[in-house]
Structure 1
Amino acid sequence: MPGCDGAQGIGFILVPGFALLSFASACEPFRAANRLAGRPLYRMRYFGEAPDGRVVSSSGAEVPCEPLPRERGDLHTVFVCAGGEPTEWHRPTIHAALRRLARLGVRIGGISGGPYLMAAAGLLTDRPCTLHWEHAAAFKEAFPDLSPTLARYVSAGDRVTCGGGIAPLDMAHALIRERMGAAFAGRVSDWFLHTAVGAPADPQRASSAERYGVHHPTLLLVLETMEKTVEAPLSRRAMAALASVSERHLDRMFRDKRGFGFTQQYRMIRVTHARRLLRQSPLTISEIAAATGFTNAAHFARVYRMLFGRSPSAERRIAKEASPFVPAALAR
């Protein structure tokens, strides 16, 4: 619903520890659109739970905010912006505000970790969605009925979800184009030297070849399969059959191209995934062991300590102590 001057209200609910870059990438294009149009196309409003009216970002910058909205007013779209770790996102007051706004007809969006809060509020049921790739593992464990795709952003009617970083620039371009046309949206993107606007389905991360530093197609197939099968690891024989090579050749490829063996690589991928779950999810250590293909928690703990030099419980404790935004109830 536009205001009396025709401006469309764009709101941002900020969760303590939100990523400043993601937030700026989302709100600055709307400010630039106003300047380029010479009139108020969009009116930005910032909301938070903090009683002192300020929300602190991950970098320590503070944004003055008004209380969470209870009425629609001129709000057309409201984004929830979250960073940090999912253990910090148990925010019933924000969940209730999102549900209330959705009932009032406001389009609801999430940026970076924001879609996690949307899911917790029950606003992504049967909806396509995305979120920052770093939080995908915890998201899938917390909401097994939802299947996020690691696209840059997903627009699904009255729901919009977006990865973090600079992906909101692409999303904002699409929303401005939706209202003002492609030519005007192009001018806004040029304002930010954003000359290569990403498509919604473009990947968030570098390719497997770039991340692993290899270009051998068979080896890449195996590495990508490893990433997809952390919960139920395939045997060397099954993986060799999938790649149409002998087990001996499979081992030789890993030693020649990666510098260590098939088993070591697979274990590292699984334990790195476990490390994200320890930091981001409320799952018990036994549940994380099962979710990463270990037969029991003791075996998982031995492998984890061997690779990272500390136990899974120590990893979780250090992650909690390192975050200034962990609610007291979760820190105990």
Structure 2
Amino acid sequence: MNVVNKRLVFEQRSDSENLDAIPSKSLPDGTMEFLLVLAPGFSQLCLSSFISPLLYANRLSGREQFRWKLISDDGTPVVCASGVRVCVDASLGEEAKLLKSNRLPAGIAICTGEGIEHYQSGPLVALLRLCARRNVRLYGLGTGAWILAAAGLLSDTRCTIHWDMMAAFSETFDGLKLTDALFVEQGGIVTCAGEFAAFDLAISLVERRCGADVARSVCRFLTADRWREGESYQSTPPGLRFNGASERLIRIIRMMENSIDEPLSLGAISRLEGLSRRQIERLFLRHLQTPPMRYYLLLRMARARQLIELTDMSVLEVAITCGFTSSSHFSKCFRDHFTQAPSSLRRG
């Protein structure tokens, strides 16, 4: 159930800006160049996870396959979430001039972090729209998809964002085809959950550009035993994917996640999955050490916290969106779980 009016921070793109599938571009010397735009508070882990595989693909293949430039709003250093000040190569304005002169990179990637819902940059939106018109591929890393959506670039496009932002993202923007995945590519848009998922995205670029042998060599050099497919879930409970858990358990969890606003009873889950209540209870106790309906409540509380912290929805609106029939019952459950009232967690 959607109880809030959707809103966009920036006006929508015109229909004339086409985002059909496009080939990757290379510089005259055959190198793929990426512009990496750093927003204040960006994730250093995400940035390093994306750049390092490209760096070692260059070294292990014996030639410069990839090149990158770090960009900020005004060309000054940017402080990341961990407090490290990172120097950049150019400003948004300088890169816009190069784009207008037809020096086109293979892609422009936005690397962001927490608090992205408060970040606004008119020059960045203008640059992104210019890139879209010039068929330069757009990458939203981590919470960077928020900027793409705010610029009107994700309408009717499959996309993803870090799992902690999914609830607020879907409630804030209309027309999204949001999916729980590590990264999603559609036409000229690539969105990525960020953090270690940026590594998986970068390795997929290396494999496509340099071949599977180089991709495996990069993983081996970086002591990674493998890389994950883009469509892999990002929000499966830690360890559950690798501990032999039943596929049925994972399906039930997905069912719960997709029915937050209208919670299913254990009997309904039992009928839909074709298992007895006792079998479902045993699955949850064996793999998650908690009863199924308790786990379901934890999912609803986690969704509620995201909406409280990252949107301006009222407590009643959040309660209804998370399947509660009254704000008083919701507030009690919230206090029991987080030991704080919902209103005390409002940011800013």
**Offset at 1:13?**
0.8
- TM-score norm. by structure 2 comes to 0.78
Residue in structure 1 matched with residue 40 of structure 2 by the alignment: 16
Q: How does 1:137-176 map to 2 (within 5 A)?
A: 137-176=167-206
* CA deviations over 1:26-64 (Å, ceiling 9, x no partner): 112222233334443322111112x46111111111211
Question: Whole-Å Cα distance in 2 between the matches of residues 214 and 8 of structure 1?
Answer: 40
**In the alignment, does 2:131 pair up with 1:107?**
no
* CA deviations over 1:60-85 (Å, ceiling 9, x no partner): 11211221121322412111111114
> Which of 77, 89, 95 in structure 2 is aligned with 1:54?
77
**In the alignment, does 2:325 pair up with 1:295?**
yes
Asked if the contact 1:8–1:74 (Cα under 8 Å) also holds between the matched residues in 2, the reply is no
Aligned residues: 315
Residue in structure 1 matched with residue 315 of structure 2 by the alignment: 285
| Equivalent AA in structure 2 for residue 18 of structure 1 | F
Residue in structure 1 matched with residue 5 of structure 2 by the alignment: none
Asked if the contact 1:290–1:296 (Cα under 8 Å) also holds between the matched residues in 2, the reply is yes
Q: How does 1:70-89 map to 2 (within 5 A)?
A: 70=96, 71-72=98-99, 73-89=103-119
| Equivalent AA in structure 2 for residue 15 of structure 1 | A
> Which of 130, 134, 138 in structure 1 is aligned with 2:164?
134
Question: Whole-Å Cα distance in 2 between the matches of residues 259 and 33 of structure 1?
Answer: 42
* CA deviations over 1:119-149 (Å, ceiling 9, x no partner): 2212222222222222222221122421222
Going from structure 1 to structure 2, the CA distance change for 1:287 and 1:215 (only over 3 Å counts) comes to same
Secondary structure of the residue that 1:301 maps to in structure 2? helix
5+ residue gaps, structure 1:
321-330
Going from structure 1 to structure 2, the CA distance change for 1:97 and 1:298 (only over 3 Å counts) comes to farther
Q: How does 1:1-332 map to 2 (within 5 A)?
A: 1-49=25-73, 51=74, 53-65=76-88, 66-68=90-92, 69-70=95-96, 71-72=98-99, 73-206=103-236, 210=240, 215=245, 222-244=252-274, 249=278, 263-316=293-346, 320=347, 331=348
Asked if the contact 2:307–2:313 (Cα under 8 Å) also holds between the matched residues in 1, the reply is yes
Going from structure 1 to structure 2, the CA distance change for 1:313 and 1:199 (only over 3 Å counts) comes to same
Higher relative contact order at CA 8 Å, sep ≥6: structure 1 or structure 2?
2
Asked if the contact 1:16–1:56 (Cα under 8 Å) also holds between the matched residues in 2, the reply is yes
Moved more, 17-26 or 267-276: 267-276
Going from structure 1 to structure 2, the CA distance change for 1:52 and 1:225 (only over 3 Å counts) comes to same
Question: Whole-Å Cα distance in 1 between the matches of residues 271 and 181 of structure 2?
Answer: 30
- TM-score norm. by structure 1 comes to 0.82
Question: Whole-Å Cα distance in 2 between the matches of residues 27 and 225 of structure 1?
Answer: 36
Going from structure 1 to structure 2, the CA distance change for 1:306 and 1:214 (only over 3 Å counts) comes to farther
Asked if the contact 1:218–1:243 (Cα under 8 Å) also holds between the matched residues in 2, the reply is yes
| Equivalent AA in structure 1 for residue 60 of structure 2 | L
Q: CA RMSD in A?
A: 3.0
5+ residue gaps, structure 2:
1-24
Question: Whole-Å Cα distance in 1 between the matches of residues 332 and 135 of structure 2?
Answer: 52
